[in-house]
Amino acid sequence: MRRRRAAVAAGFCASFLLGSVLNVLFAPGSEPPRPGQSPGPSPAPGPGRRGGRGELARQIRARYEEVQRYSRGGPGPGAGRPERRRLMDLAPGGPGLQRPRPPRARPLPDGAPGWPPAPGPGSPGPGPRLGCAALRNVSGAQYLGSGYTKAVYRVRLPGGAAVALKAVDFSGHDLGSCVREFGARRGCYRLAAHKLLKEMVLLERLRHPNVLQLYGYCYQDSEDIPDTLTTITELGAPVEMIQLLQTSWEDRFRICLSLGRLLHHLAHSPLGSVTLLDFRPRQFVLVDGELKVTDLDDARVEETPCTGNADCILEFPARNFTLPCSAQGWCEAMNEKRNLYNAYRFFFTYLLPHSAPPSLRPLLDSIVNATGELSWGVDETLAQLEKVLHLYRSGQYLQNSTAGSQAEYQRLPDSAISQEDYRCWPSYHHGGCLLSVFNLAEAVDICENHAQCQAFVVTNQTTWTGRQLVFFKTGWSHVVPDPSKTTYVRASG
């Protein structure tokens, strides 16, 4: 029965969002709160098991003021330690989590006023910011998942571009627990929506190549709640650690370098030092091989206030760190160090050292060890990651590593080998041995170190560092013409 209900809900999602059924138009008079604008009176909460009108209004006000601080562009006074709360498992189909239904749009007359840009300077991409009109007649609707507060969908715009839509999950834990406590559905929606609004503001204020792009937003009527907020963002692929461990070291290093650049930006952002309280792989996505943070509703700008070092304990499941309390009464670099240690325990320790070029491993080990001990800050960590990139991209890591090869190979231009593959790890091709090389000498050295290798085919494809992709083969009995490739076969004798 549960499977049948899920299928019906999924069908409703698709039928609603596909074709002409979806007609999301503007809701006049709705816009994100601007600096100095009051959030307005909160709907009166109904009878709940705990709490009441005053407590719900206080929480809405607190979240509204947080959004206001970020909109104005600077951190406010310290707000104490980050709140401690358990985040739900984001996996769809988890206990008590049902696939949410997209909101029902209330058609409005054409010519309704458009929305102003989201808070912050300019637009994240070329062209005007997307609004409700961009969501008319979308296709290819797909539910991607839900978290503590939000649901995410993938849709294709009429022009063909695929984007992600984020909205408050009406079946989610955040809204549901609030309604159970306060009995006020509309007030609880406003409480949850301020987290989505906060994320929208931060995506705009923290614009960076490793921060997901905000394309626009839309207000619309949904179920029994008017003016619900949907954000339109860049679409990325989820970070699957098991899959990443099977990719090439070069691609894994790119992810770690992306993360290092992101953490440097967060530590020196226009808002101050930003920490990600919910820092896990699922809070990031991959866009064309680059790692980007997508979930910012649990980001925090304020540093932790203190009266002594005992107030500056950075706690993690495996170990704790004590940071110094500054003369100004703030824990020094706590936001930065929290991000850095999480990068170590979720990314660097798994992705950096394994299957790396041997000459780079000592430097990579020092990066992993220093971030694991928090002996470096983000500036030094990024400097060392950029050093690794320079050594790898320039070929300097190959010094003395290929000098001893005496093998001779015959060059066969405009040709390839159609079969005779073997598998190696890590490879860019699961059915064969496809690796990147800096030059021909490195390709020869790899072939000499693979017992099966008798030939290799140099392609005209390159990786993100500009290195050429090369197929390594067990023989050359199936040579075929190919003007985009060059084959090298081991000389007999």
Q: Which two tokens stand for residue 64?
A: 């509204």
Calpha distance 451→435 (Å, rounded)? 16
How big is the CA angle at 423 (ends 419 and 427), to the nearest 5 degrees? Answer: 110
DSSP SS3 for 233:
strand
Give residue 194's identity as a one-letter amino acid code: H
Nearest CA among 287, 275, 130, 303 for reference residue 202: 275
In the chain the first and final C-alpha atoms are separated, in Å, by: 71
Contact 237, 245 (CB under 8 A): no
DSSP SS3 for 251:
helix
Burial environment of residue 358 by CB neighbours within 10 A (0 to 12, 13 to 18, 19 or more)? exposed
- State the sign of the Cα–Cα–Cα–Cα dihedral 8, 14, 18, 21: positive
For residue 229, what are the β-bridge partners?
A: 219
Calpha distance 442→455 (Å, rounded)? 13
Q: What are phi and psi of 10, to 5 degrees?
A: -65, -40
Report which DSSP code applies to 307: S
Is residue 278 among the annotated active site residues?
A: yes
- Which member of 110, 227, 251, 278 is catalytic? 278
Burial environment of residue 29 by CB neighbours within 10 A (0 to 12, 13 to 18, 19 or more)? exposed
DSSP SS3 for 128:
coil
Contact 403, 445 (CB under 8 A): no
Q: Which two tokens stand for residue 261?
A: 């650049």
Contact 273, 336 (CB under 8 A): yes
Calpha distance 341→259 (Å, rounded)? 12
HSE (CB half, 13 Å, CA atoms) of 321?
20
Residues annotated as part of the active site: 278
